[in-house]
Structure 1
Amino acid sequence: MLQKIGLKETKEDLLTFVKKNKKDVSVTIIENEDVLLEWNANQKTPLASTVKLVVLFHFVKAVSSGDIKLDEKVALADIERFYIDRTDGGAHTYWLEVNAFSEHATLLDVAKGMMQFSSNACTDYLIDLLDLEKINNRMKQAGLTEHDELMPLTPKLLWPAYVSDHEQDALKQMSGVSHEQYKSLMNEIFNIMKNDPEHKKMLEEKIMEKDLLSFRIQSLLTQKLTKSTTNQYAHFMKRLQDELLTTEEKRLFSQIVLGETLKTEKDQYIWYKGGATLFVFTAALYRKTDISSISISLFINDPKAKNSHWIGEVFNEFMLTAAMDQNFRQRLIQAFTT
């Protein structure tokens, strides 16, 4: 009997997976002006890094209005305040390696670090610079009403160490907090990260030494992430092109977001951002050609993290194929409609 040894899962396996696990999937597909598929489209899911699209939207508007300048220099040390070692899949370190900065990066570099490398430290630097309240206000104005308010990404990782030395006790203390208490705690930890490097270092070391990012704690932290729906994100991506951004702003958005390198001759725009934790995979993708446009948002919940080891390997390719290949897209739609 042949065994599946050394064969990697493919986008076809993921298509089979979503068919079999429809209750854990939400998806919205808009082609031109028509909504082709809405499945669990209003089910709120933790966004992971897909939320960075909202930060980029505000960043582009802030550049456009002259509040910030793309070539403004930022000390790397100021960004490092928001970096927590071994917590972002190597994204931040990779951004630094590829660019080989000396001691400074430009704001444009930092924005690319957030979107193309998915550095959480770059993201939190920009959140701090741009002002969280302003980002949240602009998000609502842009029609993202079924969207939790944005919070900084990195403080939650230090939260277990901030409240306890022991995993069990940390879990107990973290489980019962109200939203307002959580928000207040995140502000406190964010301020430590910005202003008290010694305290931050101590919390970081404690996280590693005491194993305070256990499976159960990571599960709880995922549920605390900013949540939204595929309906919101598919429509948001389309509206960025249709009405929310000027031609000049679209050019800048395209320059920063992941996608420019994926374009074919037919494409005017490809905008893409995915996000993942052990327990969720999320993405929003917009593609515009001379004759059509496609907006797809897909979120997958994997509450026991049984499939995260392979879904992450094929998720981006799956999304791109759904946008580029009409036949594959049709099969995805049929998975939910037949």
Structure 2
Amino acid sequence: MKRVTTITGIILIIIGIIYYLNVIKINEDKILQQIIKSDESSIVIFENGKEVLNKDGDDPLNIASIVKWFIAIEFADQVEKGIVDPNELVKSKTLNRFYVEETDGGAHRKWLDDVNKNKGQKLEEFTLEEVMRGMMIFSSNANTDFLIRLLGIENINHTIKHELGLTRQEPLYSFTGALLIPEYLSKEGYNNNKVYEEIKKMNDQEYQRMSQTVLEEINNDTRIKYDFDLHNKKTNRLWEDRLPKGTASELAVLMEKIRGDQIKNVAYLKKVLNRSKFGNNTLLYKEGNTERSKSISLFYEDQLSRKISVVVVLNNLNWYERKIVNRNFYPFIKKIMEDGTYIRKITNIIEDKEV
């Protein structure tokens, strides 16, 4: 018995060491390994205006909340045209119409806490500019859907195709509206199996229209939100699979256009969304997270005029890969931004693997 206990203890120690080395210990190269081994991953890097790495950048992948860039760009354009006043106030209860508990990783609550902390009091209304920042910095889906209604989904999608020239980018629609399609169909009398089959057989245009229909339903009657089944993995996975896809190549070019002031009213975006803690540096980025994906789209310019644009998209992650990616993703991105030799290293490794 004692021997069995000893052997069990040794096995547990070995498992613990393996888990530490693979999951807990920071190792930026784990992200590189994931990019190399997966057919559903891409990375594109521009350095000082030149593309230096492109691994599967033309493959359409789920870019999740990175699409919020397009909403922010449309917002800045309408501000410049005088259509939208960034100082106009929006009531908290208006935004809450579009908030569904436990569906955004706590993003909306974190934004509210941050704004209230900075203002030193609990606010009941916010400026449109604060709402836009909440969408971009904290990734509030409630703020996103409010802005989609304010700016017009047709205007946003027109900007994507015709102003930004992103011909491979799939059209946007309401995230929350799409998430609540099962509840909307249930309200119409469909049972669970029928709901899944109805959604599955919808073509892209029907699905997008239905998402916007449900968004309007939420705006008029919020009761549908409270029927949402957070644990229905079947329909939730279908929602994730149908999120708008885009390509890392087009997104990296977009980052370069923003960095180079080639987007309308881009100075406004840089002022409002700059996350750099150093006065002369500029860092703008948007992450995307779902249960099975991780992505980021950013540009960085330091006071030495080193200019970096990076897009990384990782799709179809299993639970173990997700743990490793979550642990190492931002150290990987940070090293790319700060260490030019690391860009050479990963470029050489990826190019050698592709030969």
Out of 92-101 and 147-156, give the one that drifted further: 92-101
Distance 2:196 2:138 in 1: 31
Per-residue deviation at 1:94? 1.1
**Structure 1 residue corresponding to 2:323, chosen from 309, 325, 338:** 309
Q: Deviations over 1:14-68 (max 9, x none)?
A: 3353254242211111112321111111100111111111111111111122111
Pairing of 1:1-338 with structure 2 (within 5 A)? 3-4=17-18, 8-18=24-34, 20-100=36-116, 101-140=122-161, 141-164=163-186, 167-198=192-223, 200-201=224-225, 204-208=226-230, 211-212=231-232, 214=233, 216-245=234-263, 249-257=265-273, 259-260=274-275, 262-264=276-278, 267=281, 269-289=282-302, 290-338=304-352
Per-residue deviation at 1:5? 5.2
Q: TM-score, normalised by structure 1?
A: 0.89
State the secondary structure of the residue aligned to 1:79.
helix
Distance 1:16 1:127 in 2: 35
Q: TM-score, normalised by structure 2?
A: 0.85
Per-residue deviation at 1:265? 5.7
Q: Deviations over 1:286-316 (max 9, x none)?
A: 1123433211111111254442233234323
Give the partner amino acid of 1:272: Y
Total equivalences in the alignment: 326
State the secondary structure of the residue aligned to 1:281.
strand
Distance 2:72 2:301 in 1: 19
Per-residue deviation at 1:266? 5.8
CA 1:95–1:33 in structure 2 vs 1: closer, same or farther (change >3 Å)? closer
Q: Is the 8 A contact 1:271 1:286 kept in 2?
A: yes
Distance 1:167 1:278 in 2: 22
Give the partner amino acid of 2:124: E
Out of 151-160 and 298-307, give the one that drifted further: 298-307
Give the partner amino acid of 1:173: E
State the secondary structure of the residue aligned to 2:173.
coil
State the secondary structure of the residue aligned to 2:105.
coil
Distance 1:145 1:11 in 2: 36
Per-residue deviation at 1:281? 1.3
Distance 1:264 1:22 in 2: 36
Distance 1:83 1:335 in 2: 43
Out of 106-115 and 237-246, give the one that drifted further: 237-246
Q: Deviations over 1:195-249 (max 9, x none)?
A: 1123x24xx32424xx33x1x3332211211111000000001012324236xx3
CA 1:59–1:310 in structure 2 vs 1: closer, same or farther (change >3 Å)? same
CA 1:179–1:245 in structure 2 vs 1: closer, same or farther (change >3 Å)? closer
Give the partner amino acid of 2:349: A
Give the partner amino acid of 1:275: G
Distance 2:173 2:318 in 1: 25
RMSD: 2.2
Q: Is the 8 A contact 1:28 1:35 kept in 2?
A: yes
Per-residue deviation at 1:136? 1.2
Out of 33-42 and 324-333, give the one that drifted further: 324-333
Q: Is the 8 A contact 1:124 1:153 kept in 2?
A: yes
Give the partner amino acid of 2:206: Q
Distance 1:91 1:189 in 2: 22
Give the partner amino acid of 1:302: N
Distance 1:58 1:285 in 2: 18
Q: Identity, % of aligned pairs?
A: 25
Distance 2:195 2:78 in 1: 39
Q: Which stretches in structure 1 are left out of the alignment for 5+ residues?
A: none
